[in-house]
A = this chain, B = another copy of it.
Amino acid sequence: MSATIKDVAKKANVSYTTVSRALNNKYGVKKETRDRIVKAAAEMGYTCNAIARGLVKKKTNTIGLILPDITNPFFPEIAMGIEDGAHAKGYSVFLCNTNYDPEREAQYLKHLAEKRVDGIILVPASNERSLELNKISESGIPIVYACSYYLEGDRSYVAIDDERGGFLATRHLVEQGYSTIAYIGAKDETVKKDERLVGYKQALKKFGIPARDRLIYYCDHKMKTGHDIINKMISKKEVPRAIFAANDLLAIGVIQGAKELGLSVPGDIAVVGFDDIPFASLPEIQLTTISQPKQKMGELSINILLDIIFGNEQNTRRTILEPELVIRKSSC
């Protein structure tokens, strides 16, 4: 189909080794020859075959980015930072959207391994450590975990202190005078506890407020879920005075549902979210939330991964960033 290095060689009257050298700007090619080769290549519309190169160099200049849900505005911010950093160093990135499905995550890991990516940035779908993940780790493909961390093993990660975030959010609500504070967040029955929930409980404990199970709602991460939960609370006549939602989408869903039910926020119910997605700051929403440095997390993830790939790093670099409470109207 498209011209190969041999075609160019023929046209320029040199061996194809020389073409390779010339096109890769290596030493030992006379300027004159090089020019002739470059010209010939351009005329033929030669495009280097990165697949063939990858096969011999055992390096594809490609990484994989596995994340749960690209339609949650939190993730595009991170993905953008990663893609940007990767592109700047000549790397391409495979986008893998797991939809929070561990099985699908495992499939992606397998595919990425087959495609011989140079590294993977993984925002896990769950806290379960899949078999596939173990295989990848053994295979030697560097993985950087983003937005999540495990303390065991020799993993590199970039995350924020979720527990601290949960604590800050809850403390803020307590300080606003609330004592009936509900928590809604993703269910996670596996090894690692949900750190945000841990922070929530910690704050309650610190202020002498008993943590009640009926105030804790496990759910998924969608806006509609937040909306539905507040409706459920109403129908059960169990509407708390304040809610800490483990992500902004849930929180915005709660606000939406509340307003539809004629409840005022924060008048009837105070809401705090988590993430600080761009829409949280809209004047119409004004969501108090725990801010994550999204861009920085993206940049750090890719930089660390590339460091590992280039061998500048041991395969373990752990970074935990500080969450920040951003106070807006939804809680005051």
A residues at B contact (CB < 8 Å): 1-2, 45, 47-52, 54-55, 58, 60, 62, 65, 70-71, 73, 75-77, 79-80, 83-84, 87, 92-97, 104, 107-108, 110-116, 135, 138-140, 223, 252, 255-256, 259-260, 278-279, 282-285
Contacts and interface: CB of A to CB of B under 8 A. Distances in A.
Residue among A58, A260, A282 with the highest chain B CB neighbour number at 10 A = A282
Given A50-B116, A94-B92, A285 B283 contact: no
Contact of A92 (B77, B83, B111, B260): B111
Given A223-B278, A283-B260, A284-B284, A47 B92 contact: no
Chain copies in complex: 2
A250 to B, nearest CB: 14
Nearest to A60: B51
A71 B77 CA distance: 6
Nearest to A50: B114
A62 B284 contact: no
A140 B1 contact: yes
Contact of A139 (B47, B58, B97, B260): B47
A97 to B, nearest CB: 5
A71 B71 contact: no
A315 to B, nearest CB: 14
A135 B71 CA distance: 33
B284 A115 contact: no
Nearest to A1: B140
A47 B110 contact: yes
Contacts of A93: 94-95
Contacts of A60: 51
23 contacts: A45-B135, A45-B138, A47-B113, A47-B135, A48-B114, A51-B54, A51-B60, A51-B115, A51-B116, A65-B95, A70-B80, A71-B77, A71-B278, A79-B95, A83-B96, A87-B97, A87-B107, A92-B94, A92-B111, A93-B94, A93-B95, A259-B284, A284-B284
Given A70-B79, A284-B285, 16 more contacts: A47-B114, A47-B135, A47-B139, A50-B111, A50-B114, A51-B60, A55-B55, A71-B73, A71-B278, A76-B76, A84-B97, A92-B96, A256-B282, A259-B283, A279-B279, A282-B284
